[in-house]
Chain A
Amino acid sequence: QVQLQESGPGLVKPSETLSLTCTVSGFSISSGYYWGWIRQPPGKGLEWIGSIYHSGSPYYNSSLKSRVTISVDTSKNQFSLRLSSVTAADTAVYYCARTGVVATYWGQGTLVTVSS
């Protein structure tokens, strides 16, 4: 069974960089599929951040592209998100998922709060 688990700091200071890692079990990232990040501000809807193929270039939401980096570490079966220059507007639950055309498998989500 494919499982995903997000990890990383729950509190980030304004102007700093948010860093999260998603650990995948039950499936080898190097076997294929796209892997991505989606976020949800408190009480609001879902926003796709970006996705990456295990061996290809990432692609990002245009509105976040200048601040986002998604990378893959196939040796650890993990992929990561970095979001720079964060503000309070980046406070959200961040989900990792096996993406593609749709997201079949999701992590449980992790709340990241941006505050000094």
Chain B
Amino acid sequence: EIVLTQSPGTLSLSPGERATLSCRASQSLSSSYLGWYQQKPGRAPRLLIYGASSRATGIPDRFSGSGSGTDFTLTISRLEPEDFAVYYCQQFGSSKWTFGQGTKVEIK
């Protein structure tokens, strides 16, 4: 089973700053099978990125994904007030899913 480790656990930033979130896999995986989600309190997760770098429908272009192999990154170029939330990476492989433990982006 592939384990996803996200870092940092918490990111304290101000609106307008750049956020860089990391997701590291315990073994190499296909970029096609890596996604990122945003979750706000009391809400279901929302798909942001699929295929490691493709934005889902309606996602602003300040969100971007990159990476390959075992190292993947979600970047928020300029934080808007509504971007403060928890972010999860997720992989699909061998008919199994796993999630990272999440990174909380909080207001500094």
B-binding residues in A (CB < 8 A): 36, 45-48, 51, 59, 61-62, 95, 99-104, 106-109
Contact = CB atoms under 8 A, between A and B. Distances in A.
Interface in B21-69: 32-33, 35, 37, 39, 43-47, 50-51, 56
Interface of B: 1, 32-33, 35, 37, 39, 43-47, 50-51, 56, 88, 90, 92, 95-102
A51 B97 contact: yes
Contacts of A47: 99
Q: How would you classify the secondary structure of chain A's contact residues: helix, strand, loop or mixed?
A: loop
Top-10 shortest CB links A-B: A102-B35, A48-B97, A106-B44, A59-B95, A46-B99, A102-B50, A101-B92, A45-B102, A45-B101, A101-B33
Contacts of B50: 101-102, 104
B88 A45 contact: yes
Nearest to B46: A106
